[in-house]
Structure 1
Amino acid sequence: MDEECQICFELLPRQLFLQITANCNHELDVCETCVDKHIQAQLERKGDVEIYCPSSGCKKEMQHRDVKRIASKQVFERYDTLMLRQTLSKLPEFRWCKNSRCGSGQINFEEENAPIMTCEACGQKSCYTHDVPWHKGLTCSEYDIKRLGEDEATQDLLERETKPCPRCGVRITKDGGCHHMTCRVNTCKYEFCWLCLADYNEIRRNGNTSHRRTCQLYA
């Protein structure tokens, strides 16, 4: 007996309807193809891995095993890549390379005992302690002293915690949340990726391939 998918409204064989998560307790009312498209759309729109059941009124979060079971190979590989990058970013010992053209990263198990990190992919040196390109000629303590000067500290704060809007140049502060930014200047309102400054209109049209190849969200 055929069932109607609540998303595409097609009448389809019942075997094409799957339980989306182990926590779902509703009828099987969304077809496998629509779930796959839902996962893909969420990855391209939000650039994160928090994906929820698309069935009306459910919203249970899909786990890694759910996505692997349902999604197509291409969609799952994109999801898996983003999940790996987000997992690495949460490790306290992990640092992304400071070379904007690299996109690699590594774990420093010695932490502040060996603050100079050399990227295994491109050779860029960075400071583990301050999470900036290596301050050549200065120890970490000397770098801290240098930053205490008012002008230097202000400039350091601007460089580390703000970025200029790619369209109007006004510096913007990221206050948590996702990497989708919108310029607050009323005459601008440009939308871009905080990590690589890619145009979000292009990301909406073409998906995460519109991020720069070295961006953590590129997949």
Structure 2
Amino acid sequence: MVHSPIACSGWNYADLKPEARSFFQVSHMGAGAQGLGPSSSAFPGHSREQDWKRMRCCCLKMLFFSPQNPATITRILLSHFNWDKEKLMERYFDGNLEKLFAECHVINPSKKSRTRQMNTRSSAQDMPCQICYLNYPNSYFTGLECGHKFCMQCWSEYLTTKIMEEGMGQTISCPAHGCDILVDDNTVMRLITDSKVKLKYQHLITNSFVECNRLLKWCPAPDCHHVVKVQYPDAKPVRCKCGRQFCFNCGENWHDPVKCKWLKKWIKKCDDDSETSNWIAANTKECPKCHVTIEKDGGCNHMVCRNQNCKAEFCWVCLGPWEPHGSAWYNCNRYNEDDAKAARDAQERSRAALQRYLFYCNRYMNHMQSLRFEHKLYAQVKQKMEEMQQHNMSWIEVQFLKKAVDVLCQCRATLMYTYVFAFYLKKNNQSIIFENNQADLENATEVLSGYLERDISQDSLQDIKQKVQDKYRYCESRRRVLLQHVHEGYEKDLWEYIED
């Protein structure tokens, strides 16, 4: 089964107004089954401000919450339950609201605190802020429902530090010692004046919603602010509005035929220094006295440690002291001892593992590099298409070149990931069929690449067109056969793997 990329619905966080962004998570949940685009497209004919109010209203109706619960409090409650509205609904209507609000670290909106009421009374005298200890008029102080008040300057600096330096969004609590009441979105947006800090806060809140929703995923493309939504979470190819295609399950580029599990292991294997360690194990040994790593740079087995504090002399083959070897400078008379044989066997296994890894890694990297070059072919093909049109060919007639480059890039990407699949694959009859399919597709891909890189003259125009069309159709067919065979193996459990 060959997967085609799913064109996912998406919305652009950067297009929303600040007010809409602060309530974005709540409003999105009530907007319907499909993902929202920019809010102007969610409800045609309405301004973004109207769209925001409408989305907020949808959320509150969906949750059946009492009108005295502000949308920002609803957002905190949802965050506490990892945006699982069913769990929140169950807890909200079990009758113990005080326990629920206490666990979520918010004050029950239906019970305004007595301390809050007392602090709302005006005072003609200046008051000291409990953070900076400077005196300000009572009107310069603000706080949460818990009743703790601080000057606006200290509030702004406190929130800025929490957001920008500590990366906190949904778990910022009151700055009073021992108070765990969370700061709501309205308070944050009211007290922070720096637009960059506001944007960072909005992103943190939105990100918590996306990360907790199994049907949503940020597009991994650089500088893309879109989120894609699917109907079912699975390892399927999805395409963002920006054009980036990726695996919805792991977020990597679409990697058929290898599964996410093995690709993750492969990427880790390529990124860490484990293969450097393999090379060291395969090509060096440790001095038996000081254990410094030594590389053999000549044919003689008589080794002298270069460590100035060691200078030990030993045999490269058996790692024993050199003195008992007498005059046997080139042949170790202990060559067949069990310890020496075990050491050599371990070294051979390490060397074989390294050679196997390099075999698959080199081919994986080669197709990756070729794929980058192939992407640059589009500019060259565009020029060739223009030249062909000058030779009395229509625009439609020259589209075969673009189609050929599309197929070439698809084949390169598939071949690249077949080597990851093959690296972890145990040998059996089915793996032999897979390798034959892989080799056939690889040969055809190289031929197609060669055709596209040739110069096109008037005399060879029709000939090269026929060859390119025949070859890219063959490549399409062989790629489809390879992928179908691999997926058939998944369905029938034909594949066995090497646990690296």
Whether contact under 8 Å (1:125, 1:133) holds in the other structure is yes
Query: TM-score, with normalisation over the residues of structure 2?
Result: 0.27
Aligned match of 2:127: 3
Aligned match of 2:158: 38
Report the Cα distance in structure 1 between the residues aligned to 2:174 and 2:269, rounded to whole angstroms.
Answer: 35
Q: 2:265 aligns with which of 152, 157, 163?
A: 157
Q: Are 1:85 and 2:207 an aligned pair?
A: yes
Is the deviation greater in 110-119 or in 41-50?
A: 110-119
Unaligned segments of structure 1, at least 5 residues = 148-152, 166-219
Question: 2:128 is matched by which residue type in structure 1?
Answer: E
Report the Cα distance in structure 2 between the residues aligned to 1:11 and 1:163, rounded to whole angstroms.
Answer: 56
Aligned match of 2:486: none
> Which runs of at least 4 in structure 1 moved beyond 4 Å after TM superposition?
160-165
Report the Cα distance in structure 2 between the residues aligned to 1:61 and 1:81, rounded to whole angstroms.
Answer: 18
Displacement of 1:11: 0.8
Give the 3 Å change call, closer, same or farther, for CA 113–51 of structure 1 in structure 2: closer
Aligned match of 1:12: 136
Displacement of 1:48: 2.4
Displacement of 1:95: 1.6
Question: 2:267 is matched by which residue type in structure 1?
Answer: E
Give the 3 Å change call, closer, same or farther, for CA 41–92 of structure 1 in structure 2: same
Question: 2:131 is matched by which residue type in structure 1?
Answer: I
Aligned match of 2:323: none
Give the 3 Å change call, closer, same or farther, for CA 90–4 of structure 1 in structure 2: same
Displacement of 1:135: 1.2
1:56-75 per-position Cα deviation (integer Å, ceiling 9, x unaligned): 33232111122123332523
Report the Cα distance in structure 1 between the residues aligned to 2:144 and 2:133, rounded to whole angstroms.
Answer: 21
Superposition map of 1:84-123 within 5 A: 84-99=206-221, 101-112=222-233, 115-121=236-242, 123=243
Whether contact under 8 Å (1:94, 1:107) holds in the other structure is yes
Report the Cα distance in structure 2 between the residues aligned to 1:126 and 1:10, rounded to whole angstroms.
Answer: 54
Cα RMSD of the aligned pairs, angstroms, is 3.2
Q: 2:144 aligns with which of 3, 8, 21?
A: 21
Give the 3 Å change call, closer, same or farther, for CA 11–86 of structure 1 in structure 2: same
Q: 2:192 aligns with which of 71, 82, 87?
A: 71
Aligned match of 1:182: none
Bigger strand share: 1
Displacement of 1:7: 1.3
Give the 3 Å change call, closer, same or farther, for CA 158–57 of structure 1 in structure 2: farther
Give the 3 Å change call, closer, same or farther, for CA 6–113 of structure 1 in structure 2: closer
Bigger helix share: 2
Q: 1:52 aligns with which of 173, 176, 183?
A: 173
Whether contact under 8 Å (1:111, 1:129) holds in the other structure is no
Give the 3 Å change call, closer, same or farther, for CA 72–130 of structure 1 in structure 2: closer
SS class of match (1:59): coil
Give the 3 Å change call, closer, same or farther, for CA 73–164 of structure 1 in structure 2: same
